[in-house]
Amino acid sequence: MLQPLDKSTASPLFQRRLLHHNEIEKLNINDSRPNSISSNMSLLQNGVCARCGEGFKMKDQIVNSHDQTWHPECFVCAQCFQSFPGGIFYEFEGRKYCEHDFHVLFAPCCQKCGEFIIGRVIKALNNSWHPDCFRCQLCNGPLADTGFMKNAGRALCRECHAHEKARGLGKYVCHKCHAIIEEGHIKFKEEAYHPYHFNCKTCGSELTADAREKNGELYCLRCFDKMGIPICGACRRPIEERVVNALGKYWHVEHFVCAKCEKPFLGTRYYEKKNLAYCENHYHQLFGNICFVCNNIVAGDVFTAFNKAWCVNHFACSVCDRKMSQKTKFFEFDMKPVCKSCYEKFPGELKRRLKKNYDAQSKK
């Protein structure tokens, strides 16, 4: 599967260019620099120009390269007919080109950055890359020296390829060996592993998929159960996922609920009363002071009487609605306040009965 990138898989063009490069080095040093263009008696007598086939005259400059000779005006780029800048040329199918035209005509462009590639070319996925441009399309890690895996038309590193493949199969990739976990992974510090890469912290036995993590260590299930795992205060079963610690007990996240509506708090604020937890709404409904007149939670000062509460400015005679203060004398009728003047207008029979009940009550 892994496709190595060495000389054997490099493109023919890549090989050719390496060859030419070597030749040019030699050429530069020995023959083709302008100051090395020389008059040579033997060439004058016997040689012909490799391009035009004519002989050389006295005083003619002769270019000598690779055992061939040229008139200087004939030793030019096959494309632009200009002499080679710096004497550097590239040869392809028997023709010589200046560096510029060789690049334009034959050199590969990098699939990523679009620039010509001079030096090592990576040929992969029917395209060419600079070695440094050839990177994993998921993690951007370099691939030129490690090789790549073909995945849905993309070049990926081994790790990313394994993850992608596992994802497609609905499986995990081992964070240690990067192979797909065929069955039974364990989670450790949020990553999946083959269980057999680990041993139980307590007994040292090789772990299986039912191993458990606790405080950053891994344990086999037997040792884990012996360590006293938290028990949910609601369902009385051990808590192996996230633990909520509240009201002096442990809870499964989904079992820590409002004592009234039984909806889980899931991290939202809760209110405690008599060792029970309530959502904001029910806490106010049950324990907030709700004004008997306006039926709202009393926001400011509260007036309490007859097991009821009032907004201070809503406390009034229940008969005539006249406002009353803490100091106003009032009577109780069915656990509601009645001002003195209203009470005096009550039917005499009722007043006598109320007084009798009041006296009986206060005797107790």
Contact footprint for Zn ion (CB under 5 A): 77, 79-80, 98, 101, 110, 112-113, 130, 133, 136, 138-139, 141, 157, 160, 174, 176-177, 194, 232, 234-235, 252, 255, 258, 260-261, 279, 282, 291, 293-294, 311, 314, 317, 319-320, 339, 342
Is the separation of the CB atoms in 46 and 39 below 8 Å?
no
CA distance 325 to 322: 10
Pick from 240, 279, 237, 234: nearest CA to 256: 234
CB of 310 to another protein, least distance (A): 13
Closer residue to Zn ion in complex, CB, 227/235: 235
DSSP code at position 270: -
347 binds, among another protein, Zn ion, none (CB under 5 to 8 A by kind): another protein
Q: How many CB atoms lie within 10 A of CB 258?
A: 20
SS3 content of the chain, % helix, strand, coil (to 5): 25, 25, 50
CB of 307 to another protein, least distance (A): 5
Closer residue to Zn ion in complex, CB, 201/282: 282
Pick from 53, 47, 84: nearest CA to 67: 47
Among 348, 359, 362, 363, binds another protein (CB under 8 A): 348
353 binds, among another protein, Zn ion, none (CB under 5 to 8 A by kind): another protein
CB of 311 to another protein, least distance (A): 15
130 binds, among another protein, Zn ion, none (CB under 5 to 8 A by kind): Zn ion
CB of 256 to another protein, least distance (A): 23
295 binds, among Zn ion, another protein, none (CB under 5 to 8 A by kind): another protein
Could you say whether residue 183 binds another protein (CB under 8 A)?
Answer: no
Pick from 190, 242, 247, 186: nearest CA to 219: 186
Closer residue to another protein in complex, CB, 277/291: 291
CA distance 360 to 362: 6
Show the tokens assigned to 102.
């060789």
Amino acid in position 283: Y
Closer residue to another protein in complex, CB, 227/335: 335
Q: For the chain, how far is it from start to end, CA to CA, in angstroms?
A: 96
Pick from 148, 103, 90, 157: nearest CA to 123: 148
Show the tokens assigned to 21.
């490069």
Closer residue to another protein in complex, CB, 204/347: 347
Closer residue to another protein in complex, CB, 95/353: 353
176 binds, among another protein, Zn ion, none (CB under 5 to 8 A by kind): Zn ion
Pick from 327, 324, 328, 292: nearest CA to 311: 292
Is the separation of the CB atoms in 131 and 140 below 8 Å?
no
Nearest residue (beta carbon) to Zn ion: 77
211 binds, among Zn ion, another protein, none (CB under 5 to 8 A by kind): none
Show the tokens assigned to 113.
């950055």
Provide the mask over 242-281, with x wherever binding to another protein is found by CB under 8 A and - wherever it is not: ----------------------------------------
Residues 279 to 338: which contact another protein by CB under 8 A?
295, 306-309, 318-321, 334-335
Please identify which residue in the block is written with the tokens 């061939």: 68
Q: Tell me whether residue 346 is exposed, middle or buried, using C-beta atoms within 10 angstroms of its C-beta: 0 to 12, 13 to 18, 19 or more.
A: middle
Show the tokens assigned to 97.
């080109």
CB of 339 to another protein, least distance (A): 11
Total residues contacting another protein by CB under 8 A comes to 19
257 binds, among Zn ion, another protein, none (CB under 5 to 8 A by kind): none
Please identify which residue in the block is written with the tokens 């005499």: 348
CA distance 61 to 75: 11
Binding site for another protein (CB under 8 A): 295, 306-309, 318-321, 334-335, 342, 345-350, 353
